[in-house]
Amino acid sequence: MQGKRILLGVTGGIAAYKSPDLVRRLRERGAEVQVVMTAAAREFVTATTFQAVSGRSVRSELWDPAAEAAMGHIELARWADVVLIAPASADFLARLAGGQADDLLATLCLATSAPVAVAPAMNHLMWAHAATRANVALLTQRGTSILGPAEGDQACGETGPGRMLEPLDLVERLHALLPGSGALAGKRVLITAGPTRERIDPVRFISNRSSGKMGFAVAQAAREAGATVVLVAGPVTLPTPAGVARLDVESAADMLSAVLRELPGTDVFISTAAVADYRPARAAEQKIKKTSETLDLAMERTIDVLATVAAHTERPFVVGFAAETEQVEQNARTKLMKKNLDMIAANEVGHDKAFDCEDNQLIVLGRNARHELARADKLTLARGLIALIGAELAARLGVRKRGSALA
């Protein structure tokens, strides 16, 4: 984090007592930290404390004549590499979701192009309230990273989710949000993950056993490698990786539509989702009643998301996944060639393999390459896959540069 510029927003809540230590931990790693406090935050911790640990004057007033003579709030918004609100109260989450700009901190969040992350801290009932859940869902959809909260004892004497993450944990998670110099720095990566659901009637659907864990791990690894990441997720309950923009979809048609909307400007497309190959030809408008011993469902093919992207005129680097129960490598290679992919990651599934597991193993095939990633946890495998993708992109760039030099 050496030289990275962190704008730390502190809102009103007892968890604000942890924030000076957070500043100290960030500065230990070489970051510059500018603290911005809300009026409510000053009821819990003084500006003098933050000035002492940050080495910078604390900002708190939108109407500061000295600072605003030079449009200080815009200057701060442009200064930051990342904005972290810790603690983020329920009130601030609501104002941020509503796009309000009624104090300096909220205004900065609207005026910055840097990644914004929030570390919620509140009573567990406030965190569980439908209004808070809706605000968090909206912020997540817009690309705000939600860091936490943790679960445990609270200042009110009750126990539950709502504790702000500890400073060291926040520092580690924040690191993933910072502009990187990794293998995919400057690249835009679009990833699909999870299953799809194809409706039979208003209460039934056809789906599969995909948990989405591998796709979410790939999204995290791509972000760690410096990429801008958009994750199109089927119906799963996994937390969004830090710094990743997430779009939730349900059916194969929904996923295709979201992918095509996000495709322009994409450098790498990674299809980890287990998209349904077939769907009911006609979904019943009302619940199907149990009136006979058998039920026949007419099925029709869905549009192949992966093949559609691979056939696109201005296609990105396209990576597929092959989940096979037999002849894993042979079937994966056939898929690689048939769908005109650049790379494919194959694994064996079924019989307690891959699905609902924390680990996996992969065979990664390219047009002229083969790699084996030994059994490991899914994040480790995802990092290995991203490294292979980065190496292939670098090799292609080198070939193009040599070709241009010869021309």
pLDDT in tens, 295-349: 888 889 999 999 999 999 889 999 999 888 888 889 999 999 999 999 999 988 7
Mean pLDDT of 100-122: 90
Q: Is 156 a catalytic residue?
A: yes
- Which is more confidently placed, 125 or 326? 125
Which of 214, 191, 240 shows the shortest CA–CA distance to 346? Answer: 214
Selecting among 39, 156, 203, 303, the annotated active-site residue is: 156
Q: Which residues of 218-231 are buried (b: 16+ CB within 10 A; e: fewer)?
A: bbbbbbbbbbbbbb
pLDDT of the residue at 376: 85
Instruction: Yes or no: say if 325 and 301 are a contact pair by the CB < 8 Å rule.
Output: no
**276 vs 195: CA distance, rounded Å:** 8
**What is the per-residue pLDDT for 70?**
46
Residue spans of alpha helices (H) in 80-177: 90-97, 104-111, 124-128, 130-141, 167-175
- Which pTM does this prediction carry? 0.62
Work out the angle between the directed axes of helices 104-111 and 72-79 (0-180°, nearest 10).
60
Domains 5-175 and 188-406 share a fold: yes
Contact 83, 115 (CB under 8 A): yes
Structural domain spans, the chain: 5-175, 188-406
- Answer whether residue 373 shows pLDDT above 80: yes
Q: Span 57-75, mean pLDDT?
A: 69
Residues 92, 139: Cα–Cα separation, whole Å? 12
Distance of CA 90 to the CA centre of its chain: 22
Predicted confidence (pLDDT) per residue in 237-280, tens digit: 888 887 788 999 999 999 999 999 999 999 999 999 999 989 98
d(CA 298, CA 282): 8
Residue range 188-406, CATH number: 3.40.50.10300
Cβ–Cβ < 8 Å for 190, 270:
yes
Work out the burial of residue 3: count CB atoms within 10 Å of its CB; fewer than 13 is exposed, 13-18 middle, 19 or more buried.
exposed
- pLDDT of residue 69 exceeding 50, the answer is no
Q: Does domain 5-175 have CATH number 3.40.50.1950?
A: yes
Nearest to 110 by CA among 152, 142, 133, 153: 142
**Mean pLDDT of all residues in the chain?**
87
Contacts of 144 (CB under 8 A, 6+ apart): 96, 116, 117, 118
Classify residue 207 as left (phi > 0), alpha (psi -120 to 50) or beta.
beta
AA letter at 113: S
Instruction: Kindly report, residue by residue over 213-228, the tens digit of the pLDDT.
Output: 999 999 989 988 889 8
Instruction: State percent of the chain over pLDDT 70.
Output: 92
User: pLDDT > 90: what percent of the chain?
Assistant: 52
